[in-house]
Amino acid sequence: MEIAIDLHIHSALSPCAEDDMTPNNIVNMALLKRLDAISITDHNGCDNIEAVIKAADDRIIVVPGIEVQTREEVHLLCYFNEVDKLLDFEDIIKDKLPNIKNDPKVIGNQLIIDEKDEIVGERQYMLISSIDMSLDQVLDEVQKREGAVVPAHIDRSSYSIISQLGFIPENLGIGMLEISQNNNKHFMDLPNDRMLFSSDAHYLWQILERESFLTVDHLSISQIVNTLKHSR
Ligand SMILES: [Zn+2]
Ligand SMILES: [Zn+2]
């Protein structure tokens, strides 16, 4: 079956995302757009993922995710079958973040929000910077937890695997690659089944319509993560 997805959405935890990217606003917008599955992929953090899953309440699939910035300044989307595996992975990330205090006035707020859309806290240290882990190390830790790694926005001129490394190492066992513009589908002449189109939404209106599809046997988180791991 083909499912409509948007697997790259930032919540208000990401300082560059709008403060109204709350769990309920994201879920309701995704439902309005009649999507089958979404993922919340904040920069180097995942404090709002459980609230989004609770807000979704089985009305839409929410894949546990995170967008990591490696030492090489490559953005990698990491997806997991279970929240616990994501939280376990985030424990490692937390230790690898630089100790730079976030200045909300300059960089933006890093809000922790509960399933009722109430602000319950704020991350004090800056989430948007490179962690002290290489691309290989991130891949290794994600794969240990049976997750999928998808290099983000490979068609962009910054923070992408192509802009930073100049190529996609084929020995890493990466399945799919994300492009940020639907009209770039033929970027690098890669086969369509390796391409994942997502919004990278920082504003509610940026969340996709039914325009990006994934072929899965049935609608479940593990099916989606498995498909992202191994392109067909
Ligand atoms: Zn990114
Ligand atoms: Zn992003």
45-55 in b/e form (b: 16+ CB < 10 A) is: bbbbbbbbbeb
Nearest listed ligand to the Cα of residue 156: 1
From the CA of 128, how far away is ligand 1's center (Å)?
10
From the CA of 100, how far away is ligand 2's center (Å)?
20
From the CA of 12, how far away is ligand 1's center (Å)?
15
Which two tokens mark 91? 């424990």
From the CA of 210, how far away is ligand 1's center (Å)?
22
From the CA of 67, how far away is ligand 2's center (Å)?
6
Helix (H, G, I), strand (E, B) or coil at 118: coil
Nearest listed ligand to the Cα of residue 74: 1
Alpha-carbon span 62 to 52, nearest angstrom? 8
Nearest listed ligand to the Cα of residue 201: 2
Alpha-carbon span 24 to 119, nearest angstrom? 12
From the CA of 160, how far away is ligand 1's center (Å)?
7
Would strands 2-9 and 37-40 be described as parallel, antiparallel, or unpaired? parallel
Alpha-carbon span 186 to 24, nearest angstrom? 35
- Of 157, 167, 230, 159, which Cα lies nearest the Cα of 196? 230
From the CA of 187, how far away is ligand 2's center (Å)?
19
Alpha-carbon span 38 to 6, nearest angstrom? 5
Alpha-carbon span 214 to 183, nearest angstrom? 17
From the CA of 156, how far away is ligand 1's center (Å)?
9
From the CA of 19, how far away is ligand 1's center (Å)?
18
CB 195 within 8 A of CB 185: yes
CB 3 within 8 A of CB 219: yes
From the CA of 34, how far away is ligand 1's center (Å)?
24
pLDDT value of position 204: 98
Nearest listed ligand to the Cα of residue 75: 1
Alpha-carbon span 162 to 63, nearest angstrom? 25
Give per-10-residue mean pLDDT for the chain (232 aa): 97 97 98 98 98 97 98 97 98 95 94 98 96 96 96 92 86 85 72 88 97 94 94 54
Nearest listed ligand to the Cα of residue 151: 1
Nearest listed ligand to the Cα of residue 66: 2
What is the reported pTM? Answer: 0.96
pLDDT value of position 231: 61
pLDDT value of position 166: 86
Fold observed for domain 2-229:
TIM Barrel (3.20.20)
Nearest listed ligand to the Cα of residue 73: 1
Domains of the chain, residue spans: 2-229
CB 80 within 8 A of CB 88: no
pLDDT value of position 109: 97
221 torsion bin: left (phi>0), alpha (psi -120 to 50), beta (else)? alpha
